[in-house]
Amino acid sequence: MFERPLAYVCFPIKGDASANQRRARQYARKVFDGGLEPFVPHQFYATFLDDTLADERKVAIRMGLNHLKKCRILIVCSKERTDTMQTEIEEANRLAIPVVSIDGLILEKSSATAKNRPQI
Q: Tell me if 79 is assigned to some domain.
A: yes
Total number of domains constituting the chain: 1
CATH code for the domain in which residue 77 is found: 3.40.50.10400
Count CB neighbours of 40 within 10 A.
23
The predicted structure's pLDDT at residue 106: 52
When pLDDT is cut at 50, 70 and 90, the band that residue 1 belongs to is low
Q: Tell me if 119 is assigned to some domain.
A: no
Q: Tell me if 120 is assigned to some domain.
A: no
Contact 33, 109 (CB under 8 A): yes
Domain containing residue 93: 6-114
Closest alpha carbon to 22 in 77, 81, 92: 77
pTM for the predicted model, two decimal places: 0.82
The predicted structure's pLDDT at residue 16: 77
Q: Tell me if 102 is assigned to some domain.
A: yes
Cα of 21 vs its chain's centroid, Å: 13
Contact 13, 35 (CB under 8 A): no
Q: In the chain, what is the greatest distance between 2 CA atoms, to the nearest angstrom?
A: 47
